[in-house]
Amino acid sequence: MVKTLFPGRQRHALLKRINNYLVENLSVERLLSAVTILDATKVISSVSDMMTELEENTGIRLTNNQRVTLYVHVSAMIER
């Protein structure tokens, strides 16, 4: 998707960062309905850092669907 939106961008790291920001920002809406007490923006930021570290340490690349699902489930788990 990001390559389609930004066809002139060739740097993989930049495209990955743009993709992650898009997924994060789109996930905030969904998260707001699931998390009632916590600050959703702070939680998303922390979960995003965790997912980035997980990807780097394991060499696994999470899909956008997996990222959104993890945002919601981990955030709900943190709140509980």
- If you average pLDDT over each of 3-7, 32-36, 50-54, 70-74, which comes out highest? 50-54
Query: pTM of the entire structure?
Result: 0.57
How far is the C-alpha of 49 from the C-alpha of 55, rounded, in Å?
10
Predicted confidence (pLDDT) per residue in 11-66, tens digit: 777 777 777 777 766 666 666 666 666 777 788 788 889 989 999 999 998 888 88
Supply the DSSP string of 11-75, one letter for each residue: -HHHHHHHHHHHHHHHHHHHHHHH-SSS-HHHHHHHHHHHHHHHHHHH-PPPPHHHHHHHHHHHH
How far is the C-alpha of 27 from the C-alpha of 17, rounded, in Å?
15
pLDDT for the residue numbered 56 = 93
pLDDT for the residue numbered 2 = 47
CA distances from 33 to 11, 29, 59 (A): 35, 7, 32
